[in-house]
Amino acid sequence: MLRIGLDIAAIVIGVVLACVGLWALGRRRRAVGSVSEPQLESLSAIATAFGGSDDAATIARELLERVEPLVGVELSLLYLVDNERRRASGLLGRDHGRELEWFRAITVDLDTEPSGVSTAVFEAAPFAVYDVRTSKIVSPRLSEATGARSAAFVPLLANERVIGVLVVGTTSGLRSFSSEELALLRTVAGEAALALDRTRSTAALKDALERERFVARISARVRSELDVDELIRVAVQETGSALRIDRCFIRLGGTEDSIPIAAQWHTSALSPIASGKRLAVSNLAVRRRETVAIEDVEHAPELAGVGGTDALLHLGSRSVLAVPILVFDDLVGVFALHRLEPGRWTPEEVSVSEAIAREIGLAVHVAHLLRDNERRIAQQSAFFRIAAMLGQSLSLSETLDALAQAATDAFGGDAAAVLMPRGGGLELAASVRLPEQLSRALAPGLPPAAESLVRAAADRRVVASPRLAGDDRFDEQWQALMDDAGLRALLAVPAASPRADRDGLTLVFFSEEHLFTDEDLEVARHLGDAARGALERSELFEAERTARALSQQLARTGSVLATELDPAAVLDEVVQQAPALLGAEGCAVLTLEDDDLVVGAAFGEGTEDVVGVRVSTTALLSGDVFQSRAPVAVENAAADRHLAGADVLLEAGYSAYLGVPLFGPEGAPAGVLAVYARRPRTWRTEEIEALRALAGNTSAALANAELYSRVSLEKERSVAILANIADGIVAVDRDGDVVLWNAAAEQITGVPQEEAIGHTTMQVLQRDLESGAEAQAGQRLVSIPRGGEEVWLSLSEAVMRDPLGAVAGRIFAFRDISSDRMVEQVKSDFVAAVSHELRTPLTSIYGFAETLLRQDVPFGEEERRTFLGYIASESERLTGIVDQLLNVARLDAGDLQVELGRIDVGSVVSEVVETAEGANEHRFEIDLPEEPLAAEADPDKVRQVFNILVENALRYSPEGGKVTVGARRNADRVEVRVVDQGMGIPASEREWIFRKFYRAESAARDGAAGTGLGLFIAKELVNAMGGRIWVDSTEGEGSSFAFELPVARD
């Protein structure tokens, strides 16, 4: 309906304006009766052309095109004057028929700039200037910009008001304008004025209609929004998008500089305003409670006392309009518009802004009313919700959470916290949307800065703080904490704890200042009463549930401890189970040792170094428990200076203590079981009884574990003896199955224990160890197979009998005497070999000597020499055998002398091979490098070792066989190797081949000569020179003996 009415008004105004125009036209035509007929026709054409256009630019173009030939000018300009006659702006300019594009940007300050345009406006009469350049009343800008020489200035009058100025002139030369020409120009200008005034009125009407529509649209938008934040956002968004401004914002609440910015809009090139402080124009509008329009901030002295201009200039704002938002004469905020360029605010812009401000104020008022109404309804229903929410849960933690949520909902708060008595203070038990920094501050309890809240809980009274800033009931630290958390008001309601001697608190926080009504306080009292009943019910439920949980946990713990047989493990298990049982953080078990209590096990942070600490049985806390044989409970040890240093775990940062005694098998005190809490804590009766029950289980478990430990120790001692005895011990039951098989038996027989247990000795050793006679005494020799060899055992046997005298089992003790038998065999073989080796040369010597002594046979000199040569050779052989025996004696006595020096190993090898080649029929193959092989060794000992290896190769190689000798450099060692094509050495004999007196069975079987000392001597000589010797052999294919010596140092 509003829009239809506006359209009808526009039609009526248009008809009236047309009638006035026709009347004025007739009047002007009568005034120019002296004009010629052609000029009248031209005027008629001009009027007709003007009447058919509603566009100012078209009218201006038609005017200038008609005027130029009418008075014979090259230059024509048309200025429009604003309604206040303070500024003239270029509308259209022509020079020699060409439009001047730059002219549209021209403005003339009518108040301060002397010009022909100003004169025409203020005189309201046409005039001519013969010489523009020398004229004092014409602005030099005109001649400089256009090159005008002569000019005429004609005002455009409409309804006795100058709305524009027509300027015509020449640029080619000077000329004068006659009075008739001026009159003609005035008549033409009058026609144009009517047309322009009509277009301006039409445009103004359209603008007014558009403004009304704009205001109506914003009104509809904001009144349809019930959310204050959204409606003011819509308002600034719509205004900023529709008006020719760079920034607009709305500030709500507060007074002058403290009014915060609630919503703002700005062009994309600008940044938002960070703070509402020192915005002087809006502050001034608030102070005056009226609209303030500033054309240029830089030249506005009235802003000095309301914040100055610095903040506005920093934002880049030059022209500012601020409208107070008033609702029923109550100031609720301010609406501000900014432009980056200085300029006047038109009455239309002011009117629109004030209309928008009124709509915003009404919409905000309605939204606040609705919000308050909703809050009251919510508070009325809060009684029912509080009862419903607090009645839904039996769990204490869930009830506390429900209490925090119910408080937030009932009062429309932004956050809530429930603090309950613990130790000596009030600690955070539940919360809703609590800021993180406030949650951290309240976690250990209410800080001293909020002492008034602690007193309120003690007095059971409600505390309401509508504005925390400046509330002298709280010190600056609490106020700063609230400010950092973004909280401005709070409500504290007592929360009774039936099982504690003081009440807790329910705190409701608000992010804005909050005025608490009597209804709020009534709801708070109702909340406190409902909380008392809910907490009493929940605590009774928790007590019953805790008792049941403690019983179940004790049963599980008892089962665990009953199966643990190690005292240390029992203590470790207890110190972990006890904190879990009571929800504590630390635990220690102290046991009695030499009249002191010693920490045997501990659990929890900071207990790493307390194990082993000794405490007197008369000390505080643990000593009190031990002496009194009764529990000792401490809620907050830090609050009692007498307990400082009384307990090692309390020194580690724990606050609460609960200790109960441990008892020994005879009921005597045996120690203390103590649990600890990091924060102050009230120990409940059921918790103390549960810990006492756990201490009883612990005492029994420790007694069982200690008994088992003693038995286990005896068993381990017996097992250790059997495991470390050198003799093999085997026990069998009455069925002959093995029940004991010690480590020595495993080593001697090569049969693992797991393979022997449960089987007979026949199955395990392929031999029955039992003797034929039950009572046979003494030791006997028994052979058993082990791998591929035969092992000889010295075996003794004992028979075990049951009470009836029947054989219940047998125990066999044996040792391996295979080495002893081998040594004896080796000695026998050695004696036989030496006897054989000595007898052979002695027999030859004796035989040839007897032959030479015969008198019945004449011998020639040649025969005599031959016999003596054999005697000498056999004597030398005998000397070699004796030397070997002497070398062995020296090696055994440690008298062997080694003289190390730099030698050429290759020379020694060549020398020995050369000697051996002359005395044997074997073939030698030598593999030596061209460069010398320098080694750090004794040359005689190297030659002796190499001789032994070569003789060995010749002895065991087939006749005519090949012996390969060689030497080479191998890193920092020189390696010498002798390879034969003999019978080879069995794998089972290679570990014995370098032993004293040992001769391979294959060599002895094949009749090879030797004493069994050569390789032993070679090995000892090489070891003495810092080298090593080894053999590689394949049975039936020959052997390869090698030794290596250190490389000679340069």
Q: How many CB atoms lie within 10 A of CB 906?
A: 22
Residue 1: pLDDT above 70?
Answer: no
Pick from 337, 354, 357: which is nearest to 247 by CA? 337
Residues 6 or more apart whose Cβ sits within 8 Å of residue 320: 281, 282, 292, 293, 294, 297, 312, 336, 337, 338, 339
Contact yes or no for 516/493 (Cβ under 8 A): no
- Work out the average pLDDT over 454-460: 83
- Work out the average pLDDT over 305-333: 88
Residues 6 or more apart whose Cβ sits within 8 Å of residue 678: 585, 586, 653, 654, 655
User: Which CATH class, in words, describes the domain spanning 725-816?
Assistant: alpha beta
Contact yes or no for 188/46 (Cβ under 8 A): yes
pTM (two decimals): 0.35
Residue reference for tokens 């100012």: 56
Residue 330 has which token pair?
A: 């109550």
The string of pLDDT tens digits covering residues 343-365 is 888 888 888 888 888 877 787 77
Dump the DSSP string for 578-602: HHHHHT-SEEEEEEEETTEEEEEEE
Q: What is the pLDDT of residue 15?
A: 44
Residue 333: pLDDT above 50?
Answer: yes
Report d(CA 880, CA 1010) in Å as an integer: 12
Q: Which amino acid is at 827?
A: K
Q: Please, which pLDDT band fits residue 224 given cuts at 50, 70 and 90? A: low
Residue 678: pLDDT above 80?
Answer: yes
Identify the CATH homologous superfamily for domain 234-372: GAF domain (3.30.450.40)
Q: What is the pLDDT of residue 548?
A: 67
Cα-Cα-Cα-Cα dihedral sign, residues 941, 947, 950, 956: negative
- Delimiting residues of CATH 3.30.565.10 domain(s) in the chain: 896-1046
CATH number of the structural domain 896-1046: 3.30.565.10
Residue 1042 has which token pair?
A: 């090698």
CATH number of the structural domain 2-207: 3.30.450.40
Pick from 500, 566, 521, 880: which is nearest to 713 by CA? 566
Q: Please, which pLDDT band fits residue 240 given cuts at 50, 70 and 90? A: confident
Report d(CA 258, CA 488) in Å as an integer: 14
- Delimiting residues of CATH 3.30.450.20 domain(s) in the chain: 725-816
User: Which CATH class, in words, describes the domain spanning 822-885?
Assistant: mainly alpha
For the packed helices 1014-1024 and 861-893, what is the interaxial angle rounded to 10 degrees?
50
Report for 97-101, 193-197, 270-274: range of highest mean pLDDT:
97-101
The string of pLDDT tens digits covering residues 685-700 is 888 888 888 888 888 8
Report d(CA 101, CA 66) in Å as an integer: 20
Express as a percent the part of the chain with pLDDT over 70.
79
Q: What is the mean pLDDT of the chain?
A: 80
- Work out the average pLDDT over 390-402: 69
CATH number of the structural domain 564-714: 3.30.450.40
Q: Helix and strand tally (H, E) in the chain?
A: 28, 35
Report d(CA 269, CA 981) in Å as an integer: 104
Q: Please, which pLDDT band fits residue 876 given cuts at 50, 70 and 90? A: low
- The CB-based long-range contact list for 294-303 (8 Å cut-off, 24+ gap) reads 294/319, 294/320, 294/321, 295/319, 295/342, 295/343, 295/344, 295/345, 296/342, 296/343, 297/342, 298/342
Identify the CATH homologous superfamily for domain 392-545: GAF domain (3.30.450.40)
- Delimiting residues of CATH 3.30.450.40 domain(s) in the chain: 2-207, 234-372, 392-545, 564-714
Q: What is the pLDDT of residue 415?
A: 92
Contact yes or no for 408/433 (Cβ under 8 A): yes
